[in-house]
Structure 1
Amino acid sequence: MSRHVSAAQLCLAGFIALSVAMGIGRFAFTPILPMMQRDFGLDLVLAGWLASANYLGYLAGALTSAALPWKAPAQLVAALALVAATTLLMGWTTAWPVWLALRCLAGLASAWALVSTATLCMARLAALGQGRLSGLVFTGVGASIALVGLLCMMLDIAMAGSSATWLIMGVLALAGMLGTRPLWGASSQPAAQAAAAHAPDGQAPGAGRRHATIIGAYGLFGFGYILPATFLPAQAKQLIDDPAVFGLAWPLFGLAAAVSTLLTARLLAVLPRRRLWALAQFIMAVGVLLPVLRPGIASIALAALCVGGTFMVVTLLGLQEAHAVGGRHAQKLIAALTAAFALGQLAGPAVFSLGNAWLGLSLESSLALAATALLAGSALLWRPAGR
């Protein structure tokens, strides 16, 4: 007999699921990167290819999530188990081709986990009349980034090594998976299915144009944010070779993400969702440009606040918009946004790595291009819906 799952339990389980999928499966690589550079002489170009492998897997996961034969709860369990396994294996090998494969699989699993968690939590919270609490679920990403970043900083100071750090992250991912159990049950599924049955079909006049606009803006967001999200600690390390200082860039990023996600509900009482999304992307563009215009540790700290303080706001608002305008096709629209995001973030490190290798393109030039993409997405969203 299935037991009733409360809104608080759903929020906590979703929080943990996104912490494992994103904070570890996607973003643990960023604070571990300086340790891998020290341990294995990994340069930024090779790091860019490892990042691109993860983003390629994320794209594959986004494209396949809606077509998987498993229901969302089973998809979530499989995704989190794969995140834990690939993270553990990163600490058991130093083979470059294996690293590439593992980062690709971790990206695949992260996308499955994001789509399934967003679908389950938004539908079930809406069925309980608590849809406004979905923001609490998404604070898991920022909070886990901050906590993982602090843990990596402490392990780096202790000279634990990157391999040991990957193993510790894998154990944490396994433990976290057990905390997502409330999302595996079916106790709130009938109510969620009933709510979905009464949802609009998402095919009103002009819907296709609105869908294309948010998909395009979300894809530009993926391209624009990924370079600072990948290389902030490495940029800080180039300026100050002290893990107690440069290691704070990533926790600061995560803390800003968690706090801003909590504030989003209040901001939505003042601004329409699309306008708030556009404003968040504009602030992110400013943050991306700061280290280019005024290189220095202060600029990197401000960039961490600007980018970290908006990237989960944009993620939350984008998925909420897809859930609102997608109607009965919300899961497919969420998957489409995730795929567009994955394409954008795949292109970012690839542009840097190829541009650096073939044209001598600097990271600063790539960041300027990323900021331009963010501004273009902001302009798309600022137009009235339907245009």
Structure 2
Amino acid sequence: MSAIGSDRRGAWRAALACMVSLAVAMGLGRFAFTPMLPIMLHEGKLDLQAGGVLASLNYLGYFVGALSCAAIRLKPATMVRGALVATAALLLGMGLWDNFSVWGVLRTAAGVMSAWTFVFASGWGLRRLAETGAPTLQGVIYAGPGVGIAVTGLVGGAVGRWGSEAGWIGLGLLSLVLIAVIWRIFSDGESAHAASPAATAAAPSEAESAAARNDARWLVGLYGLAGFGYIITATFLPVIARQALPGSPWPDFFWPLFGLAIVPGALIGARAPVHWDNRLLLAIAYALQALGVVLSVAWPTIIGFTLGSLLLGMPFTTITLFAMRDARRLRGNAAAGLIGYATASYGVGQILGPLFAAPLAQRTGSFTVPLLVAAAVLAVGALLFALVWWRSQRPEGALTT
């Protein structure tokens, strides 16, 4: 009984430590720019197009970081610790320097750190949960970005009333506090069998069938559509809401609402039975996000933005969960390479989104067209995933390319 209780406590400690890690690296380090952008625009430090460039540089860093993980040989816990400390330093740097070129370097580096934290904290945490017999707690881990996004929206916006410098420095100090709380947990759980993504990727894989290879190509291609489809709203939501609701206090709350919606979505998604087809689940998640994006255009009111934020947020990390599950379905324990390609595809979509949306919105004075394009991309992804799933149920197997 005591051993079971000890394992359970260890599983919860690992899950919560990873949740906090993702909250810091992704919610604060990666997405703090979303609530800080309208403050910097108001201060005249940026225009909308420059803001789009900084956002895309951050996503470029995430792309580079995701690709580099396969070559890193350090222990996962060591990587998590180092990336978290660097994230806090980069947040502080955004408040200490007032130079666009420096900001570009800092945001790019923050993207790299968020990718490293996501990959290595996920690997460390999922292995710990498997060792302690508590795989259902993976939803706790992937609630982390939502918790962090909610914090950036509430704390960053409040502290930012004293200026963007205070906002960035406040978030950096908060990150240091959170890192200190979980620091020791990553020192006492390093499994002797823990492997870096490189080691996992190097494991020999069984010969794949043509259908499995085809499914892998579809997964990589369609996962990139999700990156493009959500990122325009995720980058510019407070700005979009302020344009639609001038003078209203509500726009500052839609971003934290988006973050809070991620938490139940992650917890529910983690409990989806393993025999449910991931492609059909992904189709449903894409459709929900498409509807959420459309609502901000078709119903630009408090209710419309509220429902849109909820529908965009709830499937956010479940899409990642289902994509990772499908990669493991196709490649088993040698899925790291496929996950890396899919993450890179997602990263490309994220990079292109702000670069497409910001100049167009600045010229037209509206995000309507970029948002409709984003919703259409998500809808196409939903339809194609549903088609791939439907064709897989037929005797001849998966859809061919």
Same fold (TM over 0.5): yes
Deviation of residue 280 (structure 1)? 0.8
Is the 1:124–1:192 contact (alpha carbons within 8 Å) kept by the matching residues of 2? Answer: no
Deviation of residue 144 (structure 1)? 1.6
Question: After alignment, is 33-42 or 60-69 more displaced?
Answer: 33-42
Of 331, 337, 343, 2:336 maps to 331
In the alignment, the residues of structure 2 paired with residue 259 and residue 317 of structure 1 have an alpha-carbon distance, to the nearest angstrom, of 15
In the alignment, the residues of structure 2 paired with residue 33 and residue 191 of structure 1 have an alpha-carbon distance, to the nearest angstrom, of 39
Is the 1:127–1:191 contact (alpha carbons within 8 Å) kept by the matching residues of 2? Answer: no
**What is the CA deviation profile of residues 53-112 of structure 1, one whole-angstrom value per residue up to 9, with x for unaligned ones?**
101111111111111232322222222122111111000011111111111110111111
In the alignment, the residues of structure 2 paired with residue 176 and residue 150 of structure 1 have an alpha-carbon distance, to the nearest angstrom, of 16
Corresponding residue for 1:340? 345
In the alignment, the residues of structure 2 paired with residue 176 and residue 300 of structure 1 have an alpha-carbon distance, to the nearest angstrom, of 30
Compared with structure 1, are the counterparts of its residues 210 and 183 closer, same or farther at alpha carbon in structure 2 (3 Å cutoff)? Answer: farther
In the alignment, the residues of structure 2 paired with residue 192 and residue 96 of structure 1 have an alpha-carbon distance, to the nearest angstrom, of 38
How do 1:126-275 residues align onto structure 2 when only pairs under 5 Å count?
126-156=130-160, 159-178=161-180, 179-185=182-188, 187-190=190-193, 201=205, 203-205=207-209, 206-242=211-247, 244-268=249-273, 271-275=276-280
Task: List runs of 5+ in structure 2 lacking aligned partners.
Answer: 1-5, 393-397
Task: List runs of 5+ in structure 1 lacking aligned partners.
Answer: none
* Equivalenced residues, count: 379
Is the 2:62–2:111 contact (alpha carbons within 8 Å) kept by the matching residues of 1? Answer: yes
Deviation of residue 121 (structure 1)? 1.6
Compared with structure 1, are the counterparts of its residues 244 and 269 closer, same or farther at alpha carbon in structure 2 (3 Å cutoff)? Answer: farther
Compared with structure 1, are the counterparts of its residues 187 and 87 closer, same or farther at alpha carbon in structure 2 (3 Å cutoff)? Answer: closer
Q: Does 1:302 align with 2:302?
A: no
Is the 2:64–2:112 contact (alpha carbons within 8 Å) kept by the matching residues of 1? Answer: yes
Deviation of residue 380 (structure 1)? 2.8
Of 365, 370, 373, 2:374 maps to 370
Corresponding residue for 1:290? 295
Corresponding residue for 1:60? 64
Question: After alignment, is 77-86 or 22-31 more displaced?
Answer: 77-86
Is the 1:202–1:328 contact (alpha carbons within 8 Å) kept by the matching residues of 2? Answer: no
When the two structures are superposed, what TM-score results if normalisation uses the length of structure 1?
0.90
Amino acid at match of 2:47: D
Deviation of residue 327 (structure 1)? 2.0
**What is the CA deviation profile of residues 95-147 of structure 1, one whole-angstrom value per residue up to 9, with x for unaligned ones?**
11111111111011111111111222222322332222211100111122112
Deviation of residue 362 (structure 1)? 4.6
Amino acid at match of 1:97: S
In the alignment, the residues of structure 1 paired with residue 373 and residue 169 of structure 2 have an alpha-carbon distance, to the nearest angstrom, of 36
**What is the CA deviation profile of residues 135-162 of structure 1, one whole-angstrom value per residue up to 9, with x for unaligned ones?**
1100111122112211123324xx2211
Identity %: 37
In the alignment, the residues of structure 1 paired with residue 140 and residue 376 of structure 2 have an alpha-carbon distance, to the nearest angstrom, of 31
Deviation of residue 184 (structure 1)? 4.4
How do 1:17-56 residues align onto structure 2 when only pairs under 5 Å count?
17-56=21-60
In the alignment, the residues of structure 2 paired with residue 185 and residue 367 of structure 1 have an alpha-carbon distance, to the nearest angstrom, of 46
**What is the CA deviation profile of residues 338-386 of structure 1, one whole-angstrom value per residue up to 9, with x for unaligned ones?**
21111000011111234457x7595211111111211222223222354
When the two structures are superposed, what TM-score results if normalisation uses the length of structure 2?
0.87
Compared with structure 1, are the counterparts of its residues 106 and 129 closer, same or farther at alpha carbon in structure 2 (3 Å cutoff)? Answer: same
Of 310, 318, 339, 1:313 maps to 318
In angstroms, what is the RMSD of aligned CA positions?
Answer: 2.6
Deviation of residue 181 (structure 1)? 3.7
